[in-house]
Amino acid sequence: MTLTPHEVAVSQLEAGQAVTIERIRSLRFIKNNIIGNKTKKDLYIQLGIVSRLKDIVTTRDEKDPQLKTQAVIVLGSFAFGDEANILALTNSGVIGPLLDCLNPAGDPKLIEAAARTLNAIYASPKVSRQELFMGNHLNVLVQLLDTYSTSYRSNQEVIMLHTAELVASIFARCCETTDQQIQIAASGAIPLLMRLLVSGISKSQEAALGALAALVKDNSELAHHIANMRLETGERPAPYILRLACDKSPTMRLAAVTCLTYMNRAGVIQEHNSDIMLTVLPVLVKMLQLDGIVQETAPKVLAYLVWESESMQKAVCDMEAIPKLASIISHMGEEDNVYGIVGQKDKLKENSLLALAAISQIKEYCRRQVIEAKVLPHIVTAMSHPSVGVRAAACQCTRSLSRSVGSLRTSLVDAGIEAPLFQLLSDSDPGVLSSATATLCNIVLDVSPMKKSLMERGVVAKFVQMIGYGDNIVRLHAVWAIKNLVYEADSEVKETVMRQLGFHSLAALLNDAELDIQEQALNLVRNLACKRNQDIDLVFNGLGPGQLLSIIEDKLTWDDIRMLDHALYVLVNIATGTEYHRQSIMKRSGILRSVLGLMSHEAASIRVAAIWVIINLTWSEEDVAHGVHERVAILRSMGVEDRLHSLVTDSVPDVRERVKTALQHFVQDHQQYGHSGSPSVRHVGQDAYTSNEALGDSRMDTNTTVSGTGTSSHIA
Amino acid sequence: MNSRSASHHHSLQSNTQASNQVPGAVGVQKRVFTKEEWDARLAEIHVDREDLNKLIMNYLIIEGYKDAAEKFSQESGAKPPVNLESIQDRMIVRTAIQRGNIEEAIERVNDLNPEILDTNPKLYFHLQQQRLIELIREGRVMEALEFAQEELAPRGEENPEFLAELEKTMSLLAFELNGPSPVSDLLTPAQRQKLASELNAALLLSQSQEKDPKLPALLKMCWYAQQQLDERYTYPKIKDIAKAELVLEHPATSSGSSSSGAVAGV
C-alpha cells in the first residue's frame, strides 16, 4: 500500500525517523497544506498528528529552534477557525507545553509562534483558562508585553512587538471572570497596556484596547482604576480612546467604542456622557453599513451600550438605527438562499436582533419604529432559526416588543408569533426558554384570543413543567407567566391553572430557595384571591386556611417591601370575601399585630396597604353588622384606632386619605352602637381606580430585574 | 516622478489668453482668474517640503519600491517609517504572483505571518483560484479538474459566496484559451495584478501599515476640488495630471460642463 504524501510527512515527525532538517521540511510541507484549508486540517488530525506535534513542542532538546517553532505554528493553524480542532488540541494537553515555550530567554520566533497559537486556542470559550493562571505563566506573559520601543527597526523588534500584541489579545480572551480580571490587573499588565495603547502602531493599539475593554467589562472597580490612570502624555485614557473612536480604520474604531462602551456601562466616565452620545453612538450606527467583523460586532456593542438606558435608546433611534438593523435582518435571508446553504452570517443576524431588542426595551416610540420597519415577520421567522443564538435573540426582540401597549402587542399576535413562541417553550436552551417565557408573561396579560388558544395548546402544563426545570431564571419566568395568566382572569381560568399547578407546588414555591420566585408565588396568590368569593375560596380551600394564613403571617415579618406588599394585599383581598374569611384573619393575632406595626412602616406604599387591610376588615354590611362591631372592638383594643389618629397628619396624601376612610369606620361603629344603618360612603369607584394603576405597573416592568408585576389588588 | 504634481508647483507654461468678458455666455458669468492672480494666491499657501517628502515615502513604501525608497531616503533625508526589509518581503510575494508562481507566494506569506491566510478565507480562495487559472493556462486540464475538486470545491461549500467565482473560473475550460470568451479577463495580467494587490494589502495590514498610499487619494481630492471650482470660476487648472501644468482655458470653450479629462493613473 502506498502512502500519501501527507501520511509520509506525519510519519517523519516521529523522533528518530528523520534528521532534523527533514523533519522541519515535513513540518513546513504540512503547514503550507493546512493553512486556510479546513479539509486538510481535518485530514491531518485524523492521521494523529497532534500528539506528535506535542512531543516535539515538549522536548527539551533544543538543537534547532526551527523544529519547535514550525511545530507550534502548525498547532496554531489547527486552532484557527474550528472549535472541534481546538478541543482536539487541548484534549491532547498542548496548553502547558505552549505556555512553557514563552520563556523570554528563548528564541523570539518561537515565543511569537507560541503566543499566536495560544491566542488562537483561547478564541474558544470552551477552553479552560486555568493553566495560564498557574505557576509563573502570567508573569512571563506580562514580561512579553514589555517590549515596546518607539522606533522599531529590526526584524527582531517587529517580532517582539507582534508578540506583545498577541499577549494583549490573550489577556483580552482570559478575562472571563472577575477573578481572572483581578489577577491580570494585579500582575502589572495595565500600565504596559496603556503604553501599547499610545504606541501609534495600529495593531498594537487595537490589541491594547481589546485587553482594556475585557478588564473593565462588568468590573466597576477595575474600570474606575483604569479610567483614572494617566497616560504618558498626562492625559486620561477616555479622551484618548475617544479620538481613536474616530480613527480611519474601522477595526480600530470598533475596538475603541467597545472599550468606551464598557467604561460607560461601568459608570466611570460620566463626564463623557455627551461624548458617548455624540461620538460613540453615531460611530456604532455607521458601522451597521460596513461589512465583515465590524458590521457583525457593532450591533452587539450597541445593544450593550443602550441596554436599560432610555436616553441612549431614544438617541440611537433618532439616528435611524432601526431601519438599518431591520434592513440587515430582512435582506440576509435572501442571500442565504442563493445556494440553499444556511449558516452564513448567523452571528450578524443574532447581534442585529439583540440590538433591536435593546433599543426597543423601554420606549414605545422605539417599538413603533420596529413595527414600522416591517421587520416583524423576519423576527418571527428567526424564532425558528437553527442557530440557538439567533432564536434567543429573536425571542429577546419579541420580549421587548411585548412590553408595549396592547395595540402594538396585537401586531405581534398578527405576525403569527403564537406557534413559534409555543414551540420555543420546548427549546433545549435555557436562554431561549427564559426569553420565550418572558415574552409569554407579557402576552398573556391581555384578554386576547391568543391567551385562550395558548391555554388550549397546553401552555399551563408547559409552565408547570418548567417550574420543575433546573434553571432558576426559567422557573422564575414560568411562575411569573402563571401569575400574569390569572391576572384579572375569570374563575374558570384560575381553577384550570391551579388544577395543573397544584396547591402542593404552590405551597412549595411560597417557600422556594429563590426569593424572587417566592415573591412571584405570593403575587400569584394575590392575583388568585382577587375579585370574587369563589376565587378567595379557591385559595383558601386549596392551601387550607391554616397554611395560607401561616404563610402570610410569616411573610409579614420580612424586611422586604415587595414581599410585605404582596402579603398585605393578599389580606386585603381575603378581607373582601365573606364574614368567614374576615373572621379567619381576626383569629390570627400575630397577623393583626404585624399589620398594626406596618401601619407605621417607612414606605408609604406599605402604610397604605396596611390601612387598606383595616378598612376592609371594618367594612360594614347590613346583614352581619354584629361581626363588624366585634372586629372594630378587637382592633381598637389593640391600638389600631390610636395609630390611625397618629397618621392623620402623615406627609403622604394617599396615606391621609386611607386613614380618613378607616377612621370613618371606627366613628360609624360608635354611631351605630344603638343606631342602625349602613355607612353612607362606598369606595368602589376609588378602588377600581387603584386596581387599574396596578395594571399599568405590570406592563412596565416585566423585565429581568424583577419587581412586582401583574399586581392585581382588588379592594373592598 | 509624476507624483510630485500633487504639490502646488507652478506650471512653466504661461497662459496669456486672459479675457474678462465672455461674449455669448448664457446665465451667470463666471469670474475669471488670470494666471498671475492665481499664482499669487497659490503662493500664499505654504506647503512643507518635509510633508511632501513623507507623502512620497509613503507611496514608495506601500507600493513596494524598496530601492527607490532607499535612494529617496538618502537624497531627501526622509526617514522610512518602517523596516525596509519588510518591503523586500512583500515584493518577493508580489513578483511571485506576477510570474504566476502562486505556491511560492503562499509559502512566503505563511513564513511571514501564518495567521493571514488562516483568517482571510477570501484571500485564500483567490490564491487557490489563481492556481487553478495557472493550471488551465498551461493546458494541464486533468490536473486543473482534480485541483478544483479537491481544493476549491470544499472552500465553496464553506463559503457559498465563492461559488459564483469558482463557476466562472471553471468555465475557462469550455473556451479556446486564446480565443474570445466572456471569461478571458481571468487570463490577463490584470487578474494577477489584482491578486498581488489584495495580498499586498493583507500583508500591510498585518504589519500595522495602511494599505493604500495617500497620494492617489490626494489627487482624487484635488480633481474633485477643481470640479467644484469649475462651477463658479475660470482659472488656470491642471488638465493632465501626469504633466501637472496649470492651463487657463479659453472661457468660451469652458462654458457648460467641464468634466472633460480623466484622472490619469489614479
How is chain B split into domains, by residue range?
2-74+215-254, 83-206
Optimal mutation site among A28, A34, A37, interface B, most CBs of chain B within 10 A: A37
Tell me: pLDDT of A684 over 70.
Answer: no
Residue identified by cell 427549546 is A427
| Per-residue confidence (pLDDT) for residue A438, from 0 to 100 | 87
Mean pLDDT of B156-165: 88
Q: Cβ separation of A36 and B151 shorter than 8 Å?
A: no
DSSP code per residue over A496-511: HHHHHH-HHHHHHHTT
Q: Cβ separation of B160 and A37 shorter than 8 Å?
A: no
Contact indicator for A558, A570 with CB cutoff of 8 Å: no
A154 interfacial to chain B (CB closer than 8 Å): yes
Number of other residues whose CB lies within 10 A of the CB of residue B97: 25
- The strand pairing partners of B234, in sequence order, are B32
Residue bearing the bigger pLDDT, A322 or B259: A322
* In chain A, % of residues over pLDDT 90: 68
Compute the distance between CA of residue A421 and CA of residue A441 in angstroms, rounded to an integer. Answer: 12
| Per-residue confidence (pLDDT) for residue B251, from 0 to 100 | 56
Nearest CA-CA partner of A715 in A603, A594, A619, A585: A619
- Using CB atoms and an 8 Å cut-off, which of residues 29-68 of chain A contact chain B? 31-32, 35-39
A288-335+342-443 fold: Leucine-rich Repeat Variant (1.25.10)
A156 interfacial to chain B (CB closer than 8 Å): no
Tell me: pLDDT of A274 over 60.
Answer: yes
Number of other residues whose CB lies within 10 A of the CB of residue B47: 12
Question: Which residue of chain B has the CA closest to A345?
Answer: B159
| Per-residue confidence (pLDDT) for residue A284, from 0 to 100 | 97
Compute the distance between CA of residue A614 and CA of residue A632 in angstroms, rounded to an integer. Answer: 9
CATH 1.25.10.10 matches A1-94: yes
Q: Cβ separation of A35 and B118 shorter than 8 Å?
A: yes
Mean pLDDT of A284-297: 93
Tell me: pLDDT of A341 over 50.
Answer: no
| Per-residue confidence (pLDDT) for residue A625, from 0 to 100 | 59
Contact indicator for A450, A413 with CB cutoff of 8 Å: yes
Q: Encode pLDDT of A62-93 as tens digits.
A: 677 899 999 999 999 999 968 899 999 999 99
The alpha-carbon gap from A127 to the nearest alpha carbon of chain B, in Å, equals: 20
On average, the pLDDT of chain A sits at 87
Tell me: pLDDT of B258 over 70.
Answer: no
CB nearest to B110's CB, from A31, A80, A248: A31
A416 interfacial to chain B (CB closer than 8 Å): no
| Per-residue confidence (pLDDT) for residue A150, from 0 to 100 | 53
From residue B211, how far is each of A248, B58, B64 by CA, in Å?
A: 12, 10, 11
Grid coordinates representing A556 are 409579614
CB nearest to A36's CB, from B85, B124, B157: B124
Tell me: pLDDT of B93 over 60.
Answer: yes
Q: Cβ separation of A36 and B117 shorter than 8 Å?
A: yes
From residue B213, how far is each of A364, B8, B58, B78, B224 by CA, in Å?
A: 48, 19, 6, 16, 18
Compute the distance between CA of residue B11 and CA of residue B243 in angstroms, rounded to an integer. Answer: 9
Contact indicator for B94, B196 with CB cutoff of 8 Å: yes
In chain A, residues with a C-beta closer than 8 Å to the C-beta of B155 are 37
Q: Encode pLDDT of A528-570 as tens digits.
A: 998 888 999 999 999 998 999 999 999 999 999 999 999 999 9
Number of other residues whose CB lies within 10 A of the CB of residue B30: 18
Tell me: pLDDT of A360 over 80.
Answer: yes
- Length of chain A in terms of residues written: 716
Nearest CA-CA partner of A299 in A365, A356, A378: A356
Tell me: pLDDT of A402 over 70.
Answer: yes
* In chain B, % of residues over pLDDT 90: 44
- The strand pairing partners of A324, in sequence order, are none
In chain A, residues with a C-beta closer than 8 Å to the C-beta of B161 are 344
| Per-residue confidence (pLDDT) for residue A145, from 0 to 100 | 93
Contact indicator for A242, A260 with CB cutoff of 8 Å: yes
Least confident of A162-171, A514-523, A691-700, B190-199: A691-700
Tell me: pLDDT of A680 over 60.
Answer: no
The alpha-carbon gap from A296 to the nearest alpha carbon of chain B, in Å, equals: 16
Compute the distance between CA of residue A477 and CA of residue A467 in angstroms, rounded to an integer. Answer: 9
Tell me: pLDDT of B182 over 80.
Answer: yes
For chain A, residues classed under CATH 1.25.10.10 are 1-94, 288-335+342-443
Q: Cβ separation of A152 and B83 shorter than 8 Å?
A: yes
On average, the pLDDT of chain B sits at 82
Tell me: pLDDT of A424 over 60.
Answer: yes
Interface of B with A (CB under 8 A): 83, 85-86, 103, 106-107, 110, 114-115, 117-121, 124, 150-151, 154-155, 157-161, 163, 206-208, 210
The model's confidence at residue A713, banded by pLDDT at 50, 70 and 90, is very low
First to last CA, chain B: 14
Tell me: pLDDT of A38 over 60.
Answer: yes
The alpha-carbon gap from B154 to the nearest alpha carbon of chain A, in Å, equals: 7
Tell me: pLDDT of A714 over 50.
Answer: no
Residue bearing the bigger pLDDT, B77 or A32: A32
The model's confidence at residue A673, banded by pLDDT at 50, 70 and 90, is low
ipTM: 0.75
Residue identified by cell 395560607 is A548
CB nearest to A201's CB, from B121, B161, B208: B208
Contact indicator for B41, B254 with CB cutoff of 8 Å: no
Beta strands in A370-517 (DSSP E): none
Tell me: pLDDT of A579 over 60.
Answer: yes
In chain A, residues with a C-beta closer than 8 Å to the C-beta of B162 are none
Q: Encode pLDDT of B41-83 as tens digits.
A: 989 999 898 899 989 998 998 888 888 988 998 888 887 777 7
Tell me: pLDDT of B150 over 60.
Answer: yes
CB nearest to B114's CB, from A31, A339, A344: A31
Number of other residues whose CB lies within 10 A of the CB of residue B116: 19
CB nearest to A341's CB, from B114, B120, B160: B160
| Per-residue confidence (pLDDT) for residue B256, from 0 to 100 | 43
Q: Cβ separation of B124 and A81 shorter than 8 Å?
A: no
Tell me: pLDDT of B187 over 80.
Answer: yes
| Per-residue confidence (pLDDT) for residue B254, from 0 to 100 | 44
